[in-house]
Structures are given as C-alpha cells and as structure tokens.
Amino acid sequence: MFKKSALKNGLRILTVPMKNANSVTVLLLVGTGSKYETKDINGISHFLEHMFFKGTQKRPNTLAISETLDKIGGQYNAFTSKEVTGFWAKVDKKHTDVALDWISDIFLNSKFDAEELEREKGVVTEELNMYLDTPTSYVSELFEELLYGDTPAGWRIVGEKETIAAYNREKLMDYFQSHYSNDNTVLCVAGDIDQADIEKKLAEYFADIQIRKAAEKLPVKESQSKPGIFLHYKKTDQTHFCLGVRAYDMYDKRRFALQLISVVLGGNMSSRLFISVRERNGLGYYIHTSVDSATDTGYLVTQSGIKNDSLEKAIGLVLKEYKDIRDNGVSPDELQKAKDFVRGSASLSLDSSDALASFYTTQEVMRQEVMTPEQKLEMIDNVTADDIKKVAKDIFVNAKLNLSVIGPFEEKEKEKLEKLLSL
C-alpha cells in the first residue's frame, strides 16, 4: 500500500513499496507548467526544466550530471506539461541512494548559469522546430489552441521563438523563485523499498527545499457557441486531423463514463473507428480516440492521418460514430469489453516502479487526493449504459465540436468543412 506523509518542511512525500521489484523510481513533481505563465515568458516552465541538467556545485556540468546515472545503467529524464513539471530517475534498487542524491542535487543546487542559458536557447528552438515539422504532434497543439485561444491553456508548452530568444537569467530565477517550493512539490519513491528508511533519507536529502507559497494560475474559461475549425496549410503526403468535443475536468465524476466512450470509439484495434476508418475504408494507418482531463479543462478527441483526398469522408465517419453513441448508446457487450480493456490495460501499465510513481504523484499534485488503481477501476465498473448515453448526449453537440487540420488545404476550403461539422 502506498503511504502519504510530509517532511517537517512541508514537502509531501509518497512511498509505494513493490515487493520483489528490481527497480526503484524517484519522481519529483512540481505543480507548474505553461498554464502558469504570462505571454511574455511563454515556454519558460519548459526551458527551466532543461536548465536543471546544466550543472550544480557537486556536478559542475551536463556530462557530470548524466554520467552519474549512465555509469549504473539508470534511466532518467524530465518533462513539462500544461500543469506539471517532473524530474525522475529509475535505477537498480541497490543504487537507490544514488538516485536520491542525484534528484536532490539537481533540484536544490542547480546553478542556472547565464552562459549555459544562452547556449540552451538554440537547443530549445530546435526542439520547437522538430514539433512544428511533426504533424502528429503539431495538430494536437492546434486543437488546444482552437479550444482555448490566446490564453495560457492554448499556448504552446515549449513557447515561441520570440519568447525563447528573450529569456535571461533574471526572468528564469524570478519564475523559479515564485513557482518552485515545498507548497506545490510532491516527491515519490516507488519500488522495493523500506518505507521508514526511505522517509528518513528523504528528510536528509530534501531538508533545504524552498519554503514559500507557490504562485497560482488563472482559471480557464470555456466559451463556444458553434463548431470551430483551424486549418494549417502544409504541403504533405498525408492529412492529419483532430476532431473532438469539449468535455470534463479531472474532478468531474462523468470522466469515467467519458473514458469508456473513448475506448469504444477509438481506444484499440477492435474499436468502432479503427474498424470503420482503417479496416473497412482503408483511409489511413492510424486513428485513435483519447481523453484529456486537467484541473480546469477537458476534452475528448479523435486523431488520424488519412489520404489527402479523404478528409471529408473521414470526418463523416467519425461524426457518424459520435452520433450513434449519442442516439443509441452502447450494447451491454460493448460496454463490458471497454471496462475489461481498461482493467487489463491498467494492470499492464502499472507493472513497473516508474508507472506507479507517476500514477500516484500526478494525482497528489493536481488533485491533492489520491485514488488507488482498484478504486479507480471500481468507478469504471460502476458506469452504466445509461451513464454513457447521458454523457454522450451532453458532449456530442454542435456547440462543443472542434476540428484542427494540417494538410494541403487553403483557407477558402474552410466553409465547405464547416458544413460537415454537424451532429
């Protein structure tokens, strides 16, 4: 069983013992991301994440930082999303102390050197170029930009080239001081561990964390009265699109029914849309439906890459399934299959220390409430066919419908596509 506690300095810690596991994962998650930024520093959460790997007093440069875990075959990385920034290390359990020392060192003692900052601007700019050249990633960003517009929720996590170029050490340190503290940070250790022993070590390694109230983000305001479309012209051999609807945040209990709807629609290779779009009509290689639920936003979206001349047909096929679930619901067999899929997928995905660490820590940072895997699965099991139909009737309406497209389509074709977007 996982255990939640707090150090004397207020840092929340989670310990998740896994008997007979060979690995231990240390995950440190901070409740900040691009939703916490202002326009002039958009992308700074992500940029700051990079700077934690540039040197400490103990490990003066990137080479020294990376070699620490490379020499023991460890895995490590960091990530930034709209609402959280994370740092993690996964090692053989006999090297647990190395991982604890490494994480605490980069988190508490990074130098954020000005010269390294200037050099990293080129790296992050190329990361941005990579995303812009990858339609499968970029089309998702355009979908969120369509939903939330010129607000933090609609901005790019990595930032824009202009804002990246304007970063300096003063801006970086101001953001670090106001957004990194004991108040919004959670530390998790998962694997073959002794909980009491680990808690003592964490108290030593993280005694010097900043103690202050962390800055908060502005709430997102949802606003839409008709279907929305975002066309991005690009000469491509394949058209990529995201077609979906506004839905529920992570506090809404309807999210469990929403998850099952996404599975039925496009969660696996026997889902409705995989069979319809790929197998029956041969329009594209990939298609999937997923749900995104954050603290104050949520949506369901179907994404696919299809033949350039088949966009209208693909949109029609997706909308047909949206309408069918709204009007006719799902059969008992289909509902049970979706529930069994979620249960089986959860069992497989949580079979490692890093997955369990992420499962528990993300909940604690974003919701300040932790459900066990079994508690979540119980909520899934309790979803009825009537629940599915009620949610489908609520979300599958014209006023919540949105489409983003990357492909060889001029703006003049927008009107034709708008006529297709009707539920």
Burial of 300 (0-12, 13-18, 19+ CB in 10 A): buried
Collect contacts of 122-127 with beta carbons under 8 A, ≥24 apart.
Answer: 123/50, 124/43, 124/46, 124/47, 124/50, 124/158, 124/159, 124/164, 125/161, 125/164, 125/165, 127/158
Q: CA nearest 84: which of 124, 41, 34?
A: 34
259: exposed, middle or buried (Cβ count in 10 Å: 0-12, 13-18, 19+)? buried
Residue 43 DSSP one-character state? T
Cβ atoms of residues 72 and 134 within 8 Å: no
Q: Which three-class secondary structure state does DSSP give residue 24?
A: strand
Q: Would residue 413 show up in a list of annotated catalytic residues for this protein? A: no
91 burial type by CB count under 10 A (0-12 exposed, 13-18 middle, 19+ buried) = buried
Measured distance CA(124)–CA(111) in Å, rounded: 19
H helices present in 35-95, as ranges: 44-51, 62-70
Contact 335, 260 (CB under 8 A): yes
Catalytic one of 49, 120, 144, 334: 49
Instruction: Please choose, from the candidates 91, 95, 103, the residue with its C-alpha nearest in 3D space to the C-alpha of residue 23.
Output: 91
Q: Which two tokens stand for residue 308?
A: 């350039």
| Contact (CB, 8 A) for 11 and 3 | no
In this structure, what DSSP letter does residue 279 have? I
CA distance 292 to 301: 8
Which amino acids are annotated catalytic?
Answer: 49
